[in-house]
Structure 1
C-alpha cells in the first residue's frame, strides 16, 4: 500500500512529525514501512509556463520554437520536440538552472542554431513512471488546465511535493488497504483523532429505483449489492490534485468518472464500478454465477471464458462485469457517457479469490475483496463517490438506491482479562493503561472485575480471539518497552538436549577434520535403496513418487554421498571429503510409519595432504579414514568401548573393510569402496564410513577427567612378534593391553614384515609399549615383571614368539 503523506494529513494532524519519523513510528507499532519516497527529491526550478507562441524550427522538422512566459517578466525562447506542444498551453517548464530526476541539470543551449532557455517537460521527465501517465499525454508534454497560475511550482500542482510511505502489509491487515484505514492506525500510534470526510450533497427528485432493479441469485455470493444512478454526467479529465494522488498511489488516471471510483477505492478501501447506464442494455442488474463456457470481454480488451466458479454481473442476460475483478468493455464509461450506474457491493471473499485465480486476473479491487472489506463502508463509499461525481463531473444524483441487502454485519465482541494480558506480555499494565490503548484504537470497551469486553469495529476483521487483543496492546504499548524476562520453570525452552549437543559436536569435529557437510535426498531408487545398509529391511515405497529415481526411502546415506563425489569428480574436483548426518528409514509393521534412525556417513577420495612446494603428497587410504573416526570416538568419550574388526559387506573392498563394534555390538563400518563400484561411478580410490549415530549419542559417558602431567619418566620397550599370517594385529594388541596391568599405558603397532626372510604363513608385527607410574620412578625389576607377563600372554593366546 502506497500512502501519500499529504493526503493522510486530510484525516489526521501530522504537522509535528516528518514522513521519516512517521515511518519509524508505524514500523515500531507492527506494520513495516518498506521505504519513504520523496517525490520531488532533488528537483527544483520547475514552474508553470504559458506558451505564447509556437512556430516551426527553421532547421529541424521535428522541433518547435516556443515563446514561453514563466512568470519572470520577459518571456523566454525554448526549443521543444514534443509533437503536442502548441500556443496557449499551460505547461511544466524546467528553467535554466533547474535539476530534473537523475541529477539532470538544465543549461542554456543552442539546438540546430536556435537558442533554448529551459525545457518544456513531459510527466516522465518529472519522474513519473510512463505506465502511470494518462493516455492523452503518454507521448509528448503534459498540458495543465487553463486556470493554473503561471510561475507557480508545477510539482505542487501535480502533488509531487509529497512523500510516499510504502507499507508492507501482511494479509491480516486489510484494514490498512485504504487511506482511512491507515489514518485510524496512525491515530492510534500517535494518540490523535481521525477526521473523516464530510459527505453532503443535494439529490435530484427522481429515484434511482425507478431506473434500475437489482437481483442476486445467491445471497451468500453477494449479500449486499447497491446501485446508484447519476445523470447529466460530463466526462472530462479529473482535477489535477486527484490525478496526482492516483499517480502517487500507482494508479493511472483516465477520466473524472473512473478516477473517482479509483480514488474512493484508495480512500475507503471499497471497490466501486461505474457502468454506462445507456450501454447497459436493460434496466436490470442480475448477479449470478457464470455458465460454463460463457464469455465476456473485459476492460483490458481480453476475451475471457468463464466457468461456474466465476461470479458475474449481468443486465439480466449478458455479462457486463466479472464481479469484484474487472468490468466489461460493453458497458464501459466513455467520453459520450451521460448517465452512470454506480455499483458498490460486498462480495464473498472466497468467490472473488477463486474467480481471480481461474481467470489469471488480479486487480486492485480483487485484492481487497480477497482479504476482506469493511461491510459498513459499502454504502458510505457509494455516497462519497456520488458527492465527488456531482462536484467534478456535474452529475445529478438520483435519490436513494436500488439494492439487495441480506448482509449481517455485526461487530465481533472479544473478552480478555488484565491478568492474562500481563502474564503473556510480562508487563504490569494497569486497567487505565489498557483502556487507553483500546480507546486509541477506537474500540468500544467495558471493564468488569478485571475483564475487558471489547467490541471490535467491522473494519478490523483480523481481531477475533483474545490473543489478537494481546497483540494490539503489545504493539501500541511498544515492543521496545516490553520488559525482558527469563522463562521460569523446571526446564528452559530453547536449550539443547544432550543428544543435540553431541550431534553438534559430531558435525563440528568432522568439519574441523576437513570434511564438508552435505545434505542429500532421503529418497532413492530400487537399485540403491539397500546398498551399504547397516540393516536391510523391505524398502518403504512412496505412494506418489515424483520419479523412479526418488521412489523409495533410503536405508543408507552412502549411495547419495557417492553421487556427490561423482558429481564433483566430473568437474575436476577430485580431492573431496564430505559427510552427512541424517535419517534412514526402516520398515515396521504394515501401514505403519517407518522407523527413523539417525546415521552419520562420510566419503573421502583423492589427496588428503598436498603441498606442492614442499613436494609432500599423501593420498587417502584406509588409515586416514580410521584416524578420523578414532578422533571422533575420542571426542565423544567412547574410544575405549570401540573396536575395529575385519568385516565384509556388499559393495566394499573385501580386504580393506572394517566392522566397527561399540561395546561388542556392531554400529557401522569403514573401508574402501569395491573397485567394481568405483569403476561404475568413474571414481578413484574412495573410502567411506557409516555409523548408527543414534546408538553412539544415546549412550551416557562419564564426564571428562583430567590427570596431572607425570612427574616421573616413562620407559618404552619394543617387541617384534612372529605370528601366523591369519592373526589380526588388533587381537594381539588386546592381549597385550589385558596382560600389561596398570603400569602399561600405551600400545602401538609400528612395523609389519611379511618378506622372503619370513617363514611361509608367518608375519612379524612390532609393537611399542610404554610403561610408567605417576607415583614413582619405575625400576628394571618392576618393568621386567610386567613385560614378562605380556610375553607369556601373547605366546599362550596367540602362539607368538619373539623375533630373533
Structure 2
C-alpha cells in the first residue's frame, strides 16, 4: 500500500519535524511495517517554471527556435528548442545549466548550430510524466503549463511532485490498513493525534435509484451486502489535478473522472467500487448469483473467460456483467457517451473471490482487498463518498436514494479487558488506565471493563489480540526481557543427540568424510548388491508417489547408497575415498502399517594402502569412541555382497553391533569400481545401548610395570581375538595391556599353522609385581592359551 503524505495530512496531523525516515520507523514500531519511502521528483534538479518572452527563428536551421525566457532570475535566459508548439507568454518547464532530469540526464549550456543555449525546455516525458497526469498537455512538444504558478518556481511544486510516498507491507490480517483512512487511524494512534473524520454528504436531486433498476442477492453465501446508487447527466472528463496527483502517488493511472472516483474511494476507504453504464443492464435488474455452467464473459481487459457455478457474478436478466469482486465486464464499461451510471459497493466472500481470481487468472486491486475480508459496514459509506465526489467534481446529478440489501452479521465482538492477565502475558506492569487509553487511540471502545471491537477490526477476537494492541502502542522495544512463567526446561541436546554428535566427531577424527544420500533407491539396487530372491532385505517399502522408478523404494541397507558415492568418486578419478554416513534404513514389519526406522552408520573405503584392517581400525575407533572395549568378532562367509573370506561381524553382549568386510568383486563390477573397496555397517541403536557414556577416573600408576613377550603356535583359522580373550580371562586384574606385534606363516611353521606373538604388560595398583607374581600370571595365560588351541612356541 502506497501512502501519499500530502493525502495523509488531510486526515491527521503528523507532528512538525517528523522526517519521512522517522515516520517510517515510528509506524513500523507500532505495527505497520514500512518497506521504504520515495520522494517524488527526487531525480529532478534545477528545473523551474519559465515564461517565454520572445521567439526568433534560428539563422542556420529551419526547425530550431531561439527563445528568450524569464526563469525568475535577474536576467532572461536564452534557450534553443526544436519544438513548434511554443508561443510568447507560455509557461514552460526550463532545465537550466547543470539541471538533472529523470534517468540521470544532465543539462549543460552549449551551442546549437552556433547559437548559445543555456538550458532546455522540457516535455512531459522528459519530466517523467504522461498525458494521464496532465490531459491538456501535448503528447509531442514542450509541456505548456496551465497551472497556477510563476516564473522561477520549482517545477516539482508546480506539477505536484513535491510529495513523499511511503510504501507499507500490509499483513493479511489487517485489510483495514489497505486504505488511507486505515493508515491515518494508525498514524493518529502512533502520535496521539485526533483523526479528522469526514462524513460524506450527498445533495441528490436526480430522482430515485429504485425507479431505474432493482437488485437482489440470489447467493447470500457469496455476497452479504449489496449497495447501489445511480447518477444521471454524467459528464465524462479528466479528473482535477489534486485527484490525479493522489492516484499517481498511489501507483494508479488516472483515466477519467468516473473511473478515477472509484479508484480514489477504494484507496481512501479500502472498499472497492464498480461503475456500470445503465445501458448495459438488461431489464433494469441486478442479480448477484452464481455463474451458470457454460456461461462466458469478456472482462474490461478484453479477455474472454469461461465461468462455472463456483464463481459469483453480477448479472442482469440476460447475462453476467461483472465477475463479483474481481473485474467488470467489457459491456458495462464507462464510455465517452455514457449518460447514466450506477455505482456498486458490495461485500463479497473473501475466500470465494480469491478462488475465482485464481481460476480466471485475474489478480486485481479489488480482489486483493476482498479476499482478505472487508468491513460490511463500510459499503454504504464508501458509496456515499463516491456520490459526494461526483457532485464535487460536477460529474453528474446523484439520485436521492440507494439500494441496500444487507445480509451481513450484526453481532458486535466484545472481549473482556483483564489488565492482570495482559501484564502476565506481556511481562509488563502497565496500568489499566494506559491500556484503556491505548485501545481508545486505536478507536476501540472500552466500557465497564469490556472492549467493544470496531467492525473494521475483524482480526481481534481474544484476550491475546487485545494484549497485542496494547503492546504495540506501548512499544515492543520497551517490554523487558523476562523468563516465560511456568517454563522449567531449557533447550539442549538429549543424551542420544549428544552421542550421535560425538560419533560424528570420532568418525571424522578417524579420517572419514561425512556424506548424505537420499533415503530412497531404485529396485535395481537389490540386484546390484547381489541380493538373492526371497532375501528379507528385498522386502522394501514402496513409495506411493515416487519421483520416478529410480527413487521408488525406501532403502533397507545403506550399502547401495555408499557404493553409489564411491563409484562417483572413482569415476571422477579420485585416487582414494574414506567416507561415512549416518542414515536411516526402513525395515517393514509384519502387521504394521509403518516400517521400523533404524539408524545406521555406514563406512566406505578404497585407495592405495587401504585394506580390510584399515576398515577394521576405523570401526574399532568408533567403538572405542563409544567406550566399548568388550566385543566378539565372528567370521562371516554367507553374505552375497561381501567377499566370502574377508567379512566379519562384531557382537556386543550377543547382539550384532557391526558388519564389515571387503565388497564382493562382482558387486564392485556392477558399480564399475575398478579397485578393491571395503564397507561396514554399524547399528546405531545397539552402539548406543552398549556405549559407556560416563567417564571413570583412574589415577596414574605409582608402581612400575613388567613386560613379557609370548609367542604361540595355533591353527591358522583361530582368530587373534580368541587368544587375547583367553589371556585376559586368565591374568585378570594383573594384565594392563596386550599388544600384537607379529603374525607369521611360512618356513619353519607347520602347514595350516601360524605363529602369533604378543607383548603383554603386567601391573597392579598397590605394589611392585615380583618376578614370581609375573611368572605365575604368565603361566596362567599359557594354560588358557592351550585350552584355546595355542601352544608356546619354542
Is TM > 0.5 for Structure 1 vs Structure 2?
Answer: yes
- What is the deviation of 1:271? 0.7
Match of 1:651 in 2: 641
The yes-or-no answer on 1:678 pairing with 2:668 is yes
Measured on the aligned residues, the alpha-carbon RMSD in Å equals 3.5
Match of 2:522 in 1: 525
| Structure 1 residues 732 and 123: alpha-carbon distance in aligned structure 2, compared to 1, 3 A threshold | farther
Q: Name structure 1 gaps, 5 residues minimum.
A: 607-617
**Cα distance between partner residues in 1 of 2:125 and 2:511:** 57
Match of 1:741 in 2: 732
1:83, 1:140 within 8 Å by CA — same for their partners in 2? no
Query: Which one is further off, 477-486 or 263-272?
Result: 477-486
Indicate the SS of the match to 1:22: helix
The yes-or-no answer on 1:427 pairing with 2:428 is yes
Match of 1:494 in 2: 491
1:89, 1:143 within 8 Å by CA — same for their partners in 2? no
- What is the deviation of 1:284? 2.6
The yes-or-no answer on 1:788 pairing with 2:779 is yes
Q: 1:338-377 counterparts in 2 under 5 A?
A: 338-377=339-378
Indicate the SS of the match to 1:703: coil
| Structure 1 residues 580 and 350: alpha-carbon distance in aligned structure 2, compared to 1, 3 A threshold | same
- What is the deviation of 1:589? 4.6
Q: 1:753-764 counterparts in 2 under 5 A?
A: 753-764=744-755
**Cα distance between partner residues in 2 of 1:434 and 1:636:** 58
The yes-or-no answer on 1:401 pairing with 2:402 is yes
Match of 1:148 in 2: 148
**Cα distance between partner residues in 1 of 2:360 and 2:384:** 31
Match of 1:597 in 2: 598
Q: Deviations over 1:78-130 (max 9, x none)?
A: 456789988887554432222345554322134565544334456665567x9
Indicate the SS of the match to 2:309: coil
**Cα distance between partner residues in 1 of 2:86 and 2:317:** 47
* Residue of structure 2 aligned with 1:465, choices 440, 462, 475: 462
| Structure 1 residues 578 and 272: alpha-carbon distance in aligned structure 2, compared to 1, 3 A threshold | farther
Query: Which one is further off, 365-374 or 675-684?
Result: 675-684
- What is the deviation of 1:329? 2.0
1:96, 1:118 within 8 Å by CA — same for their partners in 2? yes
Match of 1:724 in 2: 715
Indicate the SS of the match to 1:434: helix
1:532, 1:559 within 8 Å by CA — same for their partners in 2? no
- What is the deviation of 1:760? 1.6
The yes-or-no answer on 1:706 pairing with 2:681 is no
Q: Deviations over 1:143-172 (max 9, x none)?
A: 475133143222235543333333223322
2:208, 2:401 within 8 Å by CA — same for their partners in 1? yes
**Cα distance between partner residues in 2 of 1:61 and 1:621:** 94
1:157, 1:241 within 8 Å by CA — same for their partners in 2? no
The yes-or-no answer on 1:287 pairing with 2:276 is no
Indicate the SS of the match to 2:96: strand
1:532, 1:556 within 8 Å by CA — same for their partners in 2? no
**Cα distance between partner residues in 2 of 1:165 and 1:511:** 54
**Cα distance between partner residues in 2 of 1:138 and 1:719:** 111
2:94, 2:120 within 8 Å by CA — same for their partners in 1? yes
**Cα distance between partner residues in 1 of 2:396 and 2:706:** 112
Indicate the SS of the match to 1:504: helix
1:158, 1:241 within 8 Å by CA — same for their partners in 2? no
1:132, 1:250 within 8 Å by CA — same for their partners in 2? no
The yes-or-no answer on 1:203 pairing with 2:192 is no
| Structure 1 residues 485 and 619: alpha-carbon distance in aligned structure 2, compared to 1, 3 A threshold | farther
Q: Name structure 2 gaps, 5 residues minimum.
A: none
- TM-score, scaled to structure 1: 0.88
Match of 1:314 in 2: 315
| Structure 1 residues 438 and 490: alpha-carbon distance in aligned structure 2, compared to 1, 3 A threshold | closer
Match of 2:233 in 1: 232
**Cα distance between partner residues in 2 of 1:140 and 1:736:** 106
**Cα distance between partner residues in 1 of 2:131 and 2:636:** 73
Indicate the SS of the match to 1:752: strand
- What is the deviation of 1:568? 4.8
**Cα distance between partner residues in 1 of 2:511 and 2:62:** 73
**Cα distance between partner residues in 1 of 2:715 and 2:324:** 92
The yes-or-no answer on 1:411 pairing with 2:412 is yes
1:415, 1:453 within 8 Å by CA — same for their partners in 2? yes
Match of 1:15 in 2: 15
**Cα distance between partner residues in 1 of 2:426 and 2:37:** 31
| Structure 1 residues 272 and 487: alpha-carbon distance in aligned structure 2, compared to 1, 3 A threshold | closer
Match of 2:482 in 1: 485
Q: Deviations over 1:175-223 (max 9, x none)?
A: 2211211222233333332223342342224222222222222122122
| Structure 1 residues 605 and 69: alpha-carbon distance in aligned structure 2, compared to 1, 3 A threshold | farther
- What is the deviation of 1:307? 2.1
Indicate the SS of the match to 1:204: coil
**Cα distance between partner residues in 1 of 2:437 and 2:483:** 28
Q: 1:195-344 counterparts in 2 under 5 A?
A: 195-280=196-281, 283-344=284-345
| Structure 1 residues 478 and 596: alpha-carbon distance in aligned structure 2, compared to 1, 3 A threshold | farther
Indicate the SS of the match to 2:455: coil
| Structure 1 residues 332 and 49: alpha-carbon distance in aligned structure 2, compared to 1, 3 A threshold | farther
1:446, 1:454 within 8 Å by CA — same for their partners in 2? yes
Match of 1:507 in 2: 504
Match of 1:610 in 2: none
1:159, 1:245 within 8 Å by CA — same for their partners in 2? no
Match of 2:452 in 1: 455
**Cα distance between partner residues in 2 of 1:664 and 1:58:** 111
Q: 1:26-175 counterparts in 2 under 5 A?
A: 26-41=27-42, 43-49=44-50, 69-72=70-73, 76-78=77-79, 91-101=92-102, 103-111=104-112, 115-121=116-122, 126=127, 143=143, 146-150=146-150, 151-175=152-176
1:376, 1:409 within 8 Å by CA — same for their partners in 2? no
Indicate the SS of the match to 2:173: coil
**Cα distance between partner residues in 1 of 2:139 and 2:530:** 71
Match of 1:612 in 2: none
Indicate the SS of the match to 2:524: coil
- TM-score, scaled to structure 2: 0.89
Indicate the SS of the match to 1:199: coil
**Cα distance between partner residues in 2 of 1:549 and 1:661:** 35
